[in-house]
Amino acid sequence: MVLRPHRLALPPALAAIVHEAWAVAPYHEGLQPVIRALKYGRKRALLPAFHTLLAAGLPLLRADFAVPVPLHAARERERGFNQAEAIFHAYLAAQQIPILRALARTRPTPPLYGLAPHERKAALRGAFALAEPIAIRGRHILLIDDILTTGATLTACAHLLKKGGAARIDLLVLASDHA
């Protein structure tokens, strides 16, 4: 697994909301099976390796809060953790960026892999809500997730943060194939 932190060229809908976006590594260069093992195989033993790699390879990022893309409560109970939060926890602590669960998933959604972009967008319609609207108003938010593919999930979340009054939204994902 090779880390190549890079700025992302975002899909237009996401680029209209997000100021700056970073990925730690390309998704299809070794991270795909590792992320799937973490998420679906519940291989939490992989987390210390992620923490070590992130500490060595990520640029210094600043924000008032890091907001993880939320899982539905039932899925988080089943999985035992939110992968976005778990992956970046140590890095964010070292950068003194507190994690704020400012978003909530209001209903379960199907896994999005394998769905076409329009199907992803439909599956996510109305799936998120602001949980901490006062805390984000006027703040610089770092939205975090494990992967960026079509951008449907991150666009839905970024729209809510912007609507809630976030002054600036940046994005950090572990993996993406967007150049």
Residue 95 sits in a domain whose CATH number is 3.40.50
| Token pair belonging to 85 | 């939060």
pLDDT at 100: 97
In a domain, 65, yes or no: yes
| Residue 147 φ/ψ region, left for φ over 0, alpha for ψ in the -120 to 50 degree band, beta for the rest | beta
In a domain, 122, yes or no: yes
Range of the domain at 75: 6-176
In our burial notation (b when 16+ CB lie closer than 10 A, e otherwise), range 37-48 reads: ebbeeeeeebbe
With beta carbons less than 8 A apart as the criterion, state whether 132 and 166 touch. no
pLDDT at 2: 62
CA distances from 147 to 81, 86, 106, 131 (A): 16, 13, 21, 22
In a domain, 131, yes or no: yes
Ordered mean pLDDT values, 10 residues apiece, the chain (179 residues): 78 92 81 78 79 75 96 89 91 94 93 84 92 94 93 94 97 84
User: What DSSP string describes 103-120?
Assistant: EEE-S-----TT--HHHH
Q: Total domain count for the chain?
A: 1
- Give the C-alpha separation, 175 to 35, whole Å: 9
pLDDT at 171: 96
pLDDT at 110: 81
In a domain, 62, yes or no: yes
Handedness of CA 22, 155, 37, 178 (dihedral sign): negative
In a domain, 124, yes or no: yes
pLDDT at 26: 79
Which residue type does 73 have? A
In a domain, 1, yes or no: no
